Structure 1
Amino acid sequence: MCSLERRGDVFILTITGDDQHRLNPNLIDSIRAALARVKSESSLSATALITTAQGKFFSNGYDLNWALSDPARIRPKIMSKKLRLLVEDLISLPMPTIAAVNGHASAAGFVLALCHDYLLMRRDRGFLYMSELDIGYTIPRWFVQVVKSKTESPRIWRGVVMAAAKITAEMGVEWGIVDSAHDGAEATEEAAVRLGRDLVGRKWDGEVYAANRRIVFAEVLAVLGSDESVGDSGDFEVVSRL
């Protein structure tokens, strides 16, 4: 699940445990509940959010074992809907957001990190990885739109999606995906806290900040209304939003 800590005007949301932090409905619901609490407690002052995790993984993507164990293929749709709602929550959150990536962030976990305004990463462990091509799945359309919104050139977009590059922190900085690289999880979180405090010091209006972010992510928001959910054959089925 996750925990939420407040250090002055900076909230730290930590995905807890020493597993792969695969995104299933229980974990997604836990994160969304924490975001709702952050939003409710930040209405009177400027704040910032940091999202990080314990252990070797930031998140290793969707919990496919959970999703594909359902012969009726309802679970993939539920899981996808919940992640899209989480992405909407992040895009609409009235404050700057920072992903402090402590380890591997793959597929949906990579998308979760990208949906933050800033991405900081430890350089000594882990990589960012859009794994769909390597594991035989078609990438959801809205994943691609998130990647496009955060990459600087078609060459980089191709490397992320069509070459399934395993992006280290140093590569991520070079490609413009990662804002800064740090030595270890603790140093990454500390750098995120410093950045969060700097951003809070600007004393921006949170609702204006969120409105501007929604404009920046308008194309992402537009494709969140439909989805390609994982099918048991390795293909994605186009479904209407639940």
Structure 2
Amino acid sequence: MCTLEKRGNIFFLTLTGDDEHRLNPKLIDQIRSALRQVRAESTRGTALVTKGEGRFFSNGFDLAWAQAVGESSSRQRLGHMVNLFKPLIADLISLPMPTIAAVSGHAAAAGLMLALSHDYVLMRRDKGVLYMSELDIGLPFPEYFMTLMRSKISSPIARRNVVLKAAKVKADEAVKMGMIDSAHDSAEETVEAAMRLAEQLIGRKWDGEIYADIRKASFPELCEVLGLMDKVKAPSKL
């Protein structure tokens, strides 16, 4: 499932265990609960690092859970997960602090969306890929998935390869495509780099609410789809 701990001014949200960290209603609820705690305990100069244990950052929605009730009900369960996951993305986009995803394993489908919802994405280069599997398994993209990718993957060619080629993108290639910020040689080095970046960011002691307002203003299309537009405030006090 997941755990939350705070070291100094850095919150660490960890997807625990050696499984695929599939996003089912229980895990989504746990992550949202952790983010509510992060929001409640946030102060000037804090940051969030999200990481996963084992070979996976997250392998997307829990399709086995969706299919456990038969074909007719599995679509309803999948739609339920899609609806539950959307406000989790909104939680991250509106969180009043810098956010960093330390992708130390595979990040696929909704798992990749979870990573891209952070301000910064760091990834290990020795293992793991970024992969949108929907085309391969015959599922359409939810609207907010596409909007998130348009907001976070600026290159049309990179987006084409991700969504219309179902490319499995390794870390160094993802850096070149502008999908992630940096690649590192191991899971440990990825997390360490995320910690160093977090320390740099919290040292600026930014006002978290202003930071969140500027982030939301940077992605107006995404915020509109997520229902955050009415919560965007003008950051300028001039």
- Could you tell me how far apart the structure 2 residues matched to 1:87 and 1:134 are? 24
Q: Percent identity?
A: 58
Q: What does the per-residue CA deviation read over 1:168-203, in whole Å, with 9 as the maximum and x for residues that have no partner?
A: 000011111110111111110010000001011111
Q: What does the per-residue CA deviation read over 1:50-106, in whole Å, with 9 as the maximum and x for residues that have no partner?
A: 000000000000111212334344322321121101001101100000000010000
> 1:19 is matched with which residue?
19
What is the RMSD of the two structures over their aligned residues, measured on CA atoms? Answer: 1.2
> 1:8 is matched with which residue?
8
Residue identity in the other structure for 2:50: T
129-138 vs 186-195, which moves further: 129-138
Residue 61 (structure 2) pairs with residue 62 (structure 1): yes
- Could you tell me how far apart the structure 1 residues matched to 2:199 and 2:168 are? 31
- Could you tell me how far apart the structure 1 residues matched to 2:211 and 2:131 are? 29
Residue identity in the other structure for 1:53: G
> 1:84 is matched with which residue?
86
Structure 1 regions of 5+ residues with no counterpart? Answer: 226-242
Deviation at 1:213, TM superposition (A): 1.3
Dislocated runs of 4+, deviation >6 Å:
none
Residue pair 1:21, 1:57 contacting (<8 A) in 2 also: yes
14-23 vs 211-220, which moves further: 211-220
> 2:133 is matched with which residue?
131
- Could you tell me how far apart the structure 2 residues matched to 1:195 and 1:206 are? 17
Residue pair 2:18, 2:54 contacting (<8 A) in 1 also: yes
Look up the SS of the partner of 1:74 in the other structure.
Answer: helix
> 2:167 is matched with which residue?
165
Deviation at 1:26, TM superposition (A): 0.4
Look up the SS of the partner of 1:94 in the other structure.
Answer: coil
- Could you tell me how far apart the structure 1 residues matched to 2:148 and 2:204 are? 27
Structure 2 regions of 5+ residues with no counterpart? Answer: 228-238
Report the count of equivalent residues.
224
Look up the SS of the partner of 1:21 in the other structure.
Answer: coil
Q: What does the per-residue CA deviation read over 1:27-57, in whole Å, with 9 as the maximum and x for residues that have no partner?
A: 0111111111111111x33100000000000
TM-score, structure 2 as length reference: 0.91
Residue pair 1:91, 1:217 contacting (<8 A) in 2 also: no
For 1:1-242, list aligned pairs within 5 A.
1-42=1-42, 44-70=43-69, 71-72=72-73, 73-224=75-226
Deviation at 1:224, TM superposition (A): 3.5
Residue identity in the other structure for 1:112: L
TM-score, structure 1 as length reference: 0.89
> 1:236 is matched with which residue?
none
